[in-house]
């Protein structure tokens, strides 16, 4: 399981725009590099990142090899109700990681 680091404010006012920062450990091997014996290193990247807020999708990103190792993505959302914000990363070689955080909206 890849290590993840999520930053979401635990409490927010209703209607407030909150910033969500996500980081996941992953090599993001581009597939364009060669080893020292000239063999091409196969691509191994995270290609999809989805964020859902109480089950509803609020953000989706398609990543390409041009994203640096350990993908860091920052985005925003409106705090509408208390509940769970869930994150899912999927990629090559069957990679999949999920994480979720609770948020209280007053």
Partner 1 sequence: MNRRLSSPATRRAVLAAAGGACLALTVRPAAATPAALTLAIRKVVGEADVKPGKVQIELPPLVENGNTVAMSVSVDSPMTPKDHVKAIHVFTEKNPQPNIISVQLGPRAGRASISTRIRLADTQKVVAICELSDGTFWSHSVDVIITLGACLEDNLI
The site for partner 1 (CB under 8 A) is made up of 17-18, 30, 32-36, 41, 53, 56, 58-69, 71-78, 80
Q: Torsion over CA of 24, 25, 31 and 36, rounded to 10 degrees?
A: 170
CB of 66 to partner 1, least distance (A): 4
Instruction: Retrieve residue 24's tokens.
Output: 């996941």
Please identify, using beta-carbon distances, which residue of 62 and 94 lies nearer to partner 1. Answer: 62
CB of 87 to partner 1, least distance (A): 14
Please identify, using beta-carbon distances, which residue of 1 and 68 lies nearer to partner 1. Answer: 68
Determine the Cα–Cα distance for residues 83 and 21; give it in Å rounded to an integer.
Answer: 18
CB of 94 to partner 1, least distance (A): 22
Determine the Cα–Cα distance for residues 13 and 15; give it in Å rounded to an integer.
Answer: 6
Please identify, using beta-carbon distances, which residue of 58 and 99 lies nearer to partner 1. Answer: 58
Region for 36 from its dihedrals, namely left if φ exceeds 0, alpha if ψ lies in -120 to 50, beta otherwise: alpha
Please identify, using beta-carbon distances, which residue of 59 and 95 lies nearer to partner 1. Answer: 59
CB of 50 to partner 1, least distance (A): 9
Would you tell me how many other CB atoms lie within 10 Å of the CB of residue 25?
13
């Amino acid at each position: 399981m890849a290590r993840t680091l999520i930053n979401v404010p635990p409490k927010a006012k209703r209607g407030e725009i909150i910033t969500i920062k996500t980081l996941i450990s992953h090599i993001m091997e581009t597939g364009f590099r060669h080893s020292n014996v000239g063999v091409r290193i196969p691509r191994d990247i995270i290609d999809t990142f989805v964020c859902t807020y109480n089950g509803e999708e609020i953000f989706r990103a398609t990543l390409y090899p041009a994203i640096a190792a350990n993908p860091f993505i920052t985005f925003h959302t409106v705090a509408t109700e208390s509940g769970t914000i869930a994150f899912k990363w999927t990629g090559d070689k069957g990679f999949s990681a999920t994480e979720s955080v609770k948020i209280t909206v007053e």
